[in-house]
Structure 1
Amino acid sequence: MMIANILTIAGTDPSGGAGIQADIKTFSALGAYSCSAITAVVAQNTQGVRSFVALDPGFVAEQIDAVLDDVRIDAVKIGMIANAAIAEAVADRLRHHAVKNIVLDPVMVAKSGHALLAPEAVAAVRERLLPLARIMTPNLPEAAVLLGRGDDWTAEAMRAALPELLALGPEWVLLKGGHLADSAESTDLLAGPGGVTPFAAPRLVTTNDHGTGCTLSSAIAALLPGRDMVEAVGAAKTYLHDALAASAALDVGHGHGPVHHFHALWSDHPAM
């Protein structure tokens, strides 16, 4: 099988743990070739987002066209969209090129709590991008915004929300349960044509959780070509868990540090 080519459409992270940088690291670690289109340039580090500049929607569209006019793309990961005009541009170009295997991570708020999506853009993401997605990967606060409901989640409420999220248009939904911190396990629910599949993993105690959402959605995109959805999500979850478990080997920043994307590839004592 040929090496998969994966396109990420997202914002940047100069500290390297999230956004485009995390996506490219994840694709590379999992044996896929990376292409990218930048939606916003973000000034952030492990301690938070300072500001961001959204790029011109026409230029975002031109980046996407430049890739898709030339490169066979096997899957697309969509992360930070920033505003409604960019959402419209991205949806238009992906529809024009009839792209398949779209993984949508509805990035709305950074780990630090800073907003990364304009409030008026939520409707555009919901109405224009979600119907194109093969899978979306919201966390609980993001799912609450998409559904227009409160953020009072329980395990039962997670399962009950799955049909509503699927009704927004994606073929599959991976609803991430990491924000339910009342158990020793973190459980995500995958819902789609095959029913509901839970993915439970031991909850890891670490502050190195910057970019976990970006990494998981990118891992799904990298692994999806040639696999069914349940298999791809399971393998992506394993990769992220191992990257979190190995993150203490990194010493990056003074806030929420990054996961170790290359935990399986770097030796214990890399060259200095």
Structure 2
Amino acid sequence: MALSPKILIVAGTDPTGGAGIVRDIETASHFSVKVGLAVTSVNIQNDLHVEAKLPMYGDFIRGQMLAALEADSISAIKVGMTGTPEIVHAICGVLAEFPDIPVILDPVIRASSGGVLADDMTVAAIKQDLLQYCYLTTPNLQELAALTDHGLAKDHAHAIMQAKALVEAGSKFVLAKGGHETGKLATDSLVSSDSIRDFSIPRLNATMRGTGCTLSTAIACEMAKGKTIEQAVGTAKAYVFELLRMQPVAV
């Protein structure tokens, strides 16, 4: 019997389970993928606000990551909330030691409730240091704007231009997500230095916290199974669509 693949999740907590590591674990379980964990920050938050954050020390995060990487074969690494420049640098130090493991970055900057989870110095560290280790980065429109120092994309073509800037900054692929845009179709574009691949599904009148966590972790799981980046994105997007389809209709 084939061994189940395993991914390493590096992210923060959400006591409600609506986002963060709990959502990541639920997603990995759906895809029958095992997980190792490195907690970056313990947070007090809910659907309405972020009350407090307790970031971990960089050495503590490095220790967690190395413990997971040395214990088992890790097939992909998903990085979510970082929280401080020190944490970003600690993560980069570990990733540099394991260059053959694909890294999927969900650059968590703000919570769905609006609370700031990464300040300007942390965003700068992500762009300057972390992107170069990333196989795929999956920013939403607000994160694209923050990471490129530009305003919010005016349309999807503008979002693709911003995604190209992140490719130039180091990420091999960037998924420009269209979930917060308008129109009948929700289109995500997988951007690299020499190609653009669109993934479109009908737009649903529904919302759910943690879709960014779910999508990026689902991609990591599929890549851990040996799927191509295109296959992984397609499967992950279809999974998020089904989760949204089961949500109450937004009014």
Sort the TM-score into its range (normalised by shorter chain). Answer: over 0.9
Report the secondary structure of 1:43's partner residue.
strand
**1:120-135 equivalences in 2 (<5 Å):** 120-135=121-136
State how many pairs are aligned.
Answer: 247
1:227 aligns with 2:238: no
What is residue 215 of structure 1 aligned with on the other side? 214
What is residue 97 of structure 1 aligned with on the other side? 98
Determine if contact 1:220/1:236 at 8 Å carries over to the other structure.
yes
Deviation digits for residues 193-218 of structure 1 (CA, Å, limit 9, x no counterpart): 661111111111124x1000000000
**1:176-195 equivalences in 2 (<5 Å):** 176-181=177-182, 183-192=183-192, 195=195
What is residue 18 of structure 1 aligned with on the other side? 19
The gaps in structure 1 that reach 5 residues or longer are 249-255, 257-272
The change in CA–CA distance for 1:215 and 1:5 in structure 2 (over 3 A counts) is: same
The change in CA–CA distance for 1:154 and 1:11 in structure 2 (over 3 A counts) is: same
Q: Distance in 1 between matches of 2:21 and 2:168?
A: 29
**Residue 232 of structure 1: how far off its partner (Å):** 0.5
Q: Distance in 1 between matches of 2:9 and 2:49?
A: 22
Q: Distance in 2 between matches of 1:55 and 1:21?
A: 18
Report the secondary structure of 2:99's partner residue.
coil
When the two structures are superposed, what TM-score results if normalisation uses the length of structure 1?
0.87
What is residue 32 of structure 1 aligned with on the other side? 33
Q: Distance in 1 between matches of 2:30 and 2:68?
A: 21
1:206 aligns with 2:206: yes
What is residue 52 of structure 1 aligned with on the other side? 53
Deviation digits for residues 11-44 of structure 1 (CA, Å, limit 9, x no counterpart): 0011112100000110111110011100000111
Q: Distance in 1 between matches of 2:206 and 2:109?
A: 23
Q: Distance in 2 between matches of 1:29 and 1:87?
A: 29
Deviation digits for residues 143-166 of structure 1 (CA, Å, limit 9, x no counterpart): 111111111421221233332121
Determine if contact 1:4/1:33 at 8 Å carries over to the other structure.
yes
Q: Distance in 2 between matches of 1:135 and 1:236?
A: 13
Determine if contact 2:99/2:133 at 8 Å carries over to the other structure.
no
**Residue 3 of structure 1: how far off its partner (Å):** 1.3
Percent identity over the alignment is: 36
Determine if contact 2:164/2:192 at 8 Å carries over to the other structure.
no
Letter paired with 1:243? L
**Residue 187 of structure 1: how far off its partner (Å):** 1.0
The gaps in structure 2 that reach 5 residues or longer are none
Q: Distance in 1 between matches of 2:176 and 2:242?
A: 20
Determine if contact 1:153/1:180 at 8 Å carries over to the other structure.
no
